[in-house]
Chains A and B, each alone.
Chain A
Amino acid sequence: MDVPAGGKVYVTSVKGTGAIRGRIMAMGLVPGTAVEVVRRAPLGDPLELMVKGYNLSLRATEAGLVTVSFAPPTSGDVPDKAAGGKVHER
């Protein structure tokens, strides 16, 4: 989806394979995350995003692997965290 500078969207899923996909997710682009498109570089590419409170730069090609929606996530859009996402003492 083409998001204009200043636009705010939410990640719905990450496509792609291998190391790139792992890296994109490690950088915080996981389902449910709010992303603000800060600007495009003067030559049109890459993009600068604001993710989880820091500035991330990536090319339009990689940004294209991240599908987003303008609507904030509801419980149905993201995997259910009720059972997971907790720390347990072993």
Chain B
Amino acid sequence: MNGDERQHPVRVALCGNPNVGKSSLFNALTGSRQHVGNWPGVTVERKSGHRFYRDRRIEFVDLPGTYSLIAAAKDEEVATQYIIEESPDVVVQVVDSSNLERNLYLTMQLMEFGKPMVLAMNMSDITEERGDSLDMDAVTRFLGAPAVRTVASEGKGLEELLDAILEVVTKPPADRRIGYGELETTINELRAMIERDSEISSKLPSRWMATRLIENDSYVKGKLVGRQIWKDIEPYLSKLDRDNGEMELADNRYGVIDEVVALSCKRCKSKRSVSDKMDRVLVNQHLGIPIFLIMLWGAFELTFSAATPFMDLIDAGFAELGGWLADSVQPEWLASLLADGIIGGVGSVLIFLPNIIVMFLILGMLEDSGYLARVAFLMDRLMNRIGLQGKSAIPLMMGFGCNIPAIMSTRSIEDRKDRLITIMSTPFMSCSARLPVYILFAGAFFSHMAGTIIFIMYLIGMIVAIVTAKLLRTLVFKGEPSAFIMELPPYRLPTLWSVGVHTWDRAFMYLKKAGTIILFGVMAIWALASLPYGVEYGGEESWIAAIGKVIEPLVEPLGFDWRIAVALLFGFVAKEIVVGGLMTLYGAGESEDALTDALKADSSLNRVNAFGLMTFSLLYMPCVATAGVIWGETRSWKWTLFSIGYGIALAYLIALLIWQVGGPLFA
């Protein structure tokens, strides 16, 4: 090769079935920290990174998992399209060595596509531990693609893999093809017709297109429809028995796989005994659902109890700091900005960091262990009844942490309708950003039963999510939820590293949010409360009161005054600002306790409108970032606006009901 080619980076696509360790391998190869989990569908969009090896720049793209090159779900489509359209130099298929047969089905399809390929036989440690032995040379010889043993989670086998990648780039191995027996005649006839169009057959392999046409693949069809050759291909296809043809193709592919396995593998059919034993309890006919409910409750309980001592510590720290600033800083307005605005506002949000950490630790462990996939299995029937499917249970549960990754995780749901309904329901799952509002108001007005009230909030959120799904299914997306076909991965012990990194990333995002959006939000509120110059801070003459007074008539029927109206208005940006804003407005810069006292002392607030306010905060529109993700995922202004409008309308109606009915009764 000449010098130019040496400079040219090697583009490598990492593909493979869902949940085989592609992201782990990607992280090990590129030094990135992509999130990994143990359920099919963790990676939903492609990620890229690079490394230098033997003076060559190698660029890696981590693709979402796919079972075949026919795209059934959004994430599979991303992977399939990348491999077909972006034409990477090398395709590395990450193979779960402990699940060889099914993994090799994709290998067969990749072979048909004819790109230089390397097989990373991952998780080989598990395979060997249970006494299977895999002959890499036999696989390499049989498939004509180098097979390399890797353990991505421990970074083993990387050099061998990189060597193999560079090897197939410099001298591509002989092309292999799968024999299709009786179908060969049909394939060849179709191929001849396709090859008459040199423009299309120079871009995509004709044999591959021929098999795709037999499988009725809409992607390849789309490439050919409207071209001259389609006039001959279409009548030819309509005469074929394609149903049988498709089955025969699959059958022949698995025929090859059987041979590869027989040649290369000793004792590769053993069962996953530990995992099966655990499932005997965890998805047991009688115990499965009670165990799930206990876990849910336990996670909830732990989020609060384990975090409390740390929260007290942070609260005390900020109180100390706020008090000191108020006393020692001059001029007075600066002291007010620091103590009332920044310390009060941002501090009131930072105090919930321990809750966030505990919640993501628990979610991370559930995700890594493989239990979330079981949740989908357990809940499918129930979800089906409300117009959703088992896979919707995963985003909904993740919604308790943060709605943004939850909505992104809906990409593993194949059906567009199912996916849209899940996206519309997820924002009602009470995310951790709403927790500060509950803790503050439940603590101030329901001291003895604060825990129960908070639990009721989560319950209301779930009920609204269910009703929303049911309504959308019966009114808008009529018909049955789509098919449910999902792999149940073996249980794995969550690794401290993986769960820790994920939790840290989340905690860091929360800190960043506190330092940016929330900081600006509370500073804006502080400024509006302090202006015009010389006005009493947050008094009736201040600008913020003027704004609040404009909206006040709107929220008066809900029992809210102008201060709450302002806090809710700014809470559009991020729901934590509701608390931060109130802290600033009540000028209770010293501590959370001071705000609690200030709220209690406000005669316009009582149990009923406090409950109404919590419900309103829970339901009224997704935060700005979530709305952005909804738009990104649906690419529909209609649905994004629906999500916002529906939330506000619902929040308003329910809060109205609470105040109008509950007010006269209890207040």
Contacts and interface: CB of A to CB of B under 8 A. Distances in A.
Interface of A: 13-14, 17-28, 30-33, 38-46, 48, 50-59, 61-62, 78-90
Nearest to B106: A26
A84 B288 contact: no
Given A26-B105, A89-B176, A45 B252 contact: no
B501 interface: no
Given A53-B99, A55-B487, A62-B483, A42 B288 contact: yes
Which one of B215, B285, B378 has the highest number of Cβ atoms from chain A below 10 Å of its Cβ?
A: B285
Contact of B67 (A27, A42, A87): A27
Interface stretch (B180-188, B400-408, B539-547): B180-188
Contacts of B101: 28, 52-53
Interface stretch (B242-250, B347-355, B356-364, B605-613): B242-250
Contacts of B53: none
B288 A89 contact: no
A90 B176 contact: yes
B179 A83 contact: yes
B485 A28 contact: no
Contacts of A31: 247, 251
A42 B176 contact: no
A55 to B, nearest CB: 4
A56 B253 CA distance: 20
A80 B382 CA distance: 43
A22 B105 contact: no
B234 interface: no
Contacts, number: 199
A84 B143 contact: no
Contacts of A48: 279, 283, 377, 488
Interface in B122-144: 142-144
A89 B98 CA distance: 28
A59 to B, nearest CB: 5
A74 to B, nearest CB: 15
B240 to A, nearest CB: 15
Contact of B485 (A56, A89, A90): A56
B277 interface: no
Contacts of A45: 380-381, 384
Contact of B182 (A17, A19, A83): A83
Contact of A90 (B98, B175, B252): B175
A59 B486 CA distance: 10
Given A26-B250, A41-B377, A85 B259 contact: yes
Given A26-B105, A85-B181, A90-B174, A46 B70 contact: no
17 contacts: A17-B243, A22-B68, A28-B254, A32-B251, A42-B283, A42-B378, A43-B382, A53-B101, A53-B269, A53-B270, A54-B99, A56-B486, A59-B380, A84-B180, A87-B143, A89-B174, A90-B174
A38 B278 CA distance: 13
B246 to A, nearest CB: 7
